[in-house]
Structure 1
Amino acid sequence: MDRWDRIGRCAAYAAALALTPYLLIKVSWVIGSLLGVAPIGKGFSLGSWVLLNTVTIAMAGTGIALALALVRPWGMRLPGRLVALGAWAGAGFLVSILPYAVLSTLLGASHGDSETGPADDAAAPGWEAALIQFGFVGMGLGLAVALPCYLRRRWPDAFAGRVGEGPRAGLPWAAVTAAVVGVVWLYWAVGGTLGMAHPAERSTDGHLLTGLGAIWALIGATAVWMICRSRPARWPRWLPLALGWLGSGSLVAWSGWKLPATLFITLTHPADVIPPENPALAIPLHLAAVVAGAGMLRTLVAR
C-alpha cells in the first residue's frame, strides 16, 4: 500500500464517519415528530416533514455506503463504473461545501449577523446545525480526496505517467462550453448585473455558491484542456484527471439540481421566491453546464 492508498483510505473512512451524525439526527427527527416529542419544521405538515427527512436519511445512508465502497474490499468487486459514477456525482455536489462553509461563516461573523449561517428552525438547534454542516463538509472533503485515490487504485494505468506522454487532441467542445458558463457565473458572483432580472434579491450565500460553481467550472475546463492538449508536459497525469473529475461532477450535480428547480419556479411563480437571474438566461446556462460536465467526463474516460 503506497502513500496515496493510505491517504485515500483515511479520507473515505473520515467521510463516512463525518456523515454519520447527520444520519442519526435525521432519524431522531423522524421518530421524534411521529411520537410528538420533537418539533416539526416551520412550514411543513407532519407527513411532508417525515417524507422529506426519510428521503434525506436514504441519501445519507447511500453516501456513507458509497464512501465505504471506496475503501473496503467489497467495493473493488462492485461494477467500477457504478461506484465511480456515484462518487463522481456525490463529490460534485459536496466539493463546494467546504469553502462555502468556511467563507460563509467568516463573512457572517464579519457582518455581525447570521445571514449566512444555518436556517433558524425550531427543529435544528445550534449544536445540531453545526453537526449537520460538519457532516456535509467532512463528506465533501473526504470524497474529493478518496475518489481520485480509488480510481487510481482501480485503473492505475490511467493515472500513470505525465501529461505530455499522451497524444495531442483538438480542444474539446465541452471544455469550451464549461469555460463560457464559468465566466458568466464568475461575472455574476463579483456583482455583474447583465442577465439579472432582480439584482437586489442576491444574497451573500448566492454570491458565494455562484462563485464556487464558476471556479470549479473553470478548473474542470482547464484540466480537460491540459489532458487533451498534452501540456504542460511535465505535470503528473493524475492531477488534471482528478481536477477534471471534480470539476465536471460539480457542473452536472449543481446544475442538474438547479435546472428543474429554476424551471419549476419559472412555471409556477411562487410568491415567496424571486430568483435574481433572468430565467431566459439561467435555464440555458444550467442546461449547458450539465451537457458540458457530461461531455468533459466522456472526454476524460476516453483519454
Structure 2
Amino acid sequence: MERWDRIGRAAAYGAAAALVPYLVIKVSWVVGSLLGLLPVGRGFSLGEWLVLNTITIGMAAAGITLGLALVRPWGMRIPGRLVGFVAWVGSGFLVSILPFVVVSALVGSGGSGDSGGDAALPGWEAVLLECSFVGTGIGLALALPAYLWRRRPPALRRPVRSGTGTSGTPPWPAVAAAVTGLAWSYWAVGGTLGIAHRDERPADWHVLVGVSACWALAASAAVLALVRRPAARLPYPLLLAVAWLGSGSMFAWSGWRLPATVYVALAHPSDVAYPESVWVALALHATAVLTGAGIMRTLIRGAGRERRLVPAGHQPPAAPPDTAPPLEPGKADGMVGP
C-alpha cells in the first residue's frame, strides 16, 4: 500500500493544480465583465453572468481545497462527513463531464460542458477548461481511495454478512434510479415522448443525457448487487465506487439543473427553450436529486449496520483458564517493587 499511497498523494496535488487554470479563467471573466473589457455570455444578463460565474468560482475553490485536504495533514482533522460530501458532489460532476468531453470531441460538437459558455470563447480557453475537468477527475479518482484507506481502512473492505438468501424487496433508490436512467436513455437515443421542442436537441444534449442515463443505471445495478444475499461476486470496492459515483452524478447534475428548470417553468423566458417539457424535466431532476441522496443514505446505513453483524453461531473465544504468566516476585497484586 505504500506505493499506492504515494500515487494517491501525488494525484491529490495534481487534482488541486488542475483546477487552478479554471479558477483563473472564471475570475478573469467576472472582473473583465465588471470593467467592460470582456463580453457577457450569450443569453445572459450582466447580473446572471456574474452570479453564475461566482458560483463556479466557489466550486473551483472548493475543489482545490478538497484536493489539498486529501493529502495535507490538516485534511485528516476535517470532519469526515464534510470531506465525504464535498468529494461525493465533486466526483458526481466530474464523472459526467469526463465522458461528455471525450464523446463531444469525437463527434465534433466542441462542447466543454461549462454552462457559462460564450460563442466567442477562444480555443485555448476551451482547452484549458477541459484539461481542468479531466485532470481533476483523474486526480480525485486516484486520491480519494488512498485518503479513505489512510483514514478508515474498513470502508474499503466487504462487510461481514449474516444469513443466506436475498434481502427481499430492492431498496426504493435502486428502483427510482433505474426508472430515471431508462427515461434519460429513451431521450438520448432519440425518443420524443416528453419532448416539447424536437429541433432544440443538439449533439451535446444527447451526449450529456446519455451519460447521465448510464450513471443512473450503473448506480441502480451496483446498489442491487451490494444488498444481495449472498453478496455479488464482483469486488466490493468496485461496487461501492460505482454506487458512490452514480449517486453523486444524479445528485450533483440534477441539483445544478433543478433551480434553472424551476426558473424556466415559472418565468417563461423568451430566449430559453429546453428540448424536453419543462415540467417533465422538473419531475425527473427532482427525482434524481432525491434518488442520489437516497442511494448514499442506503450505502451509509447499510455499511454501518452490516459491520455490526456477527455471523450466526460465532462466539468470541473464551480466555483459557490459568494461562496468565506467573508474576515476578515483588510485583504481585499490582505492586511494583523497586
Say whether the 8 Å CA contact 2:41–2:118 is kept in structure 1: no
- 2:167 maps to 169
Structure of greater Rg: 2
Residue 29 of structure 1: SS of its match in structure 2? helix
Give the TM-score of the pair, scaled to structure 2.
Answer: 0.79
Residue 241 of structure 2: SS of its match in structure 1? helix
Letter in 1 for 2:151: R
- Separation (CA, whole Å) in 2 of partners of 1:253 and 1:48: 20
Residue 246 of structure 1: SS of its match in structure 2? helix
Residue 21 of structure 1: how far off its partner (Å): 1.0
Residue 258 of structure 1: how far off its partner (Å): 1.6
- Separation (CA, whole Å) in 2 of partners of 1:136 and 1:103: 14
Unaligned residue ranges in structure 1 (runs of 5+): 109-113
Structure 1 vs Structure 2 CA RMSD: 2.3
- Separation (CA, whole Å) in 2 of partners of 1:213 and 1:4: 30
Residue 216 of structure 1: how far off its partner (Å): 0.5
Give the TM-score of the pair, scaled to structure 1.
Answer: 0.88
Residue 96 of structure 1: SS of its match in structure 2? helix
% identical aligned pairs: 59
* Structure 2 residue 103 is the aligned partner of structure 1 residue 103: yes
* Structure 2 residue 218 is the aligned partner of structure 1 residue 207: no
* Structure 2 residue 18 is the aligned partner of structure 1 residue 18: yes
Residue 23 of structure 1: how far off its partner (Å): 1.4
Say whether the 8 Å CA contact 2:41–2:49 is kept in structure 1: no
Letter in 2 for 1:169: S
**Given the alignment, which residue of 139, 142, 153 partners 1:142?**
139
Structure with the higher helix share, 1 or 2: 1
Unaligned residue ranges in structure 2 (runs of 5+): 303-338
Residue 182 of structure 1: how far off its partner (Å): 0.4
Say whether the 8 Å CA contact 1:66–1:83 is kept in structure 2: yes
* Structure 2 residue 148 is the aligned partner of structure 1 residue 151: yes
- Separation (CA, whole Å) in 2 of partners of 1:230 and 1:10: 38
Change in CA separation of 1:284 and 1:148 when aligned onto 2, cut-off 3 Å:
farther
Change in CA separation of 1:102 and 1:231 when aligned onto 2, cut-off 3 Å:
farther
- 1:74 maps to 74
Residue 19 of structure 1: how far off its partner (Å): 0.7
Change in CA separation of 1:49 and 1:207 when aligned onto 2, cut-off 3 Å:
closer
Q: How many residues align?
A: 294
- 1:248 maps to 247
- Separation (CA, whole Å) in 2 of partners of 1:120 and 1:209: 18
Change in CA separation of 1:34 and 1:291 when aligned onto 2, cut-off 3 Å:
closer
- Separation (CA, whole Å) in 2 of partners of 1:273 and 1:8: 43
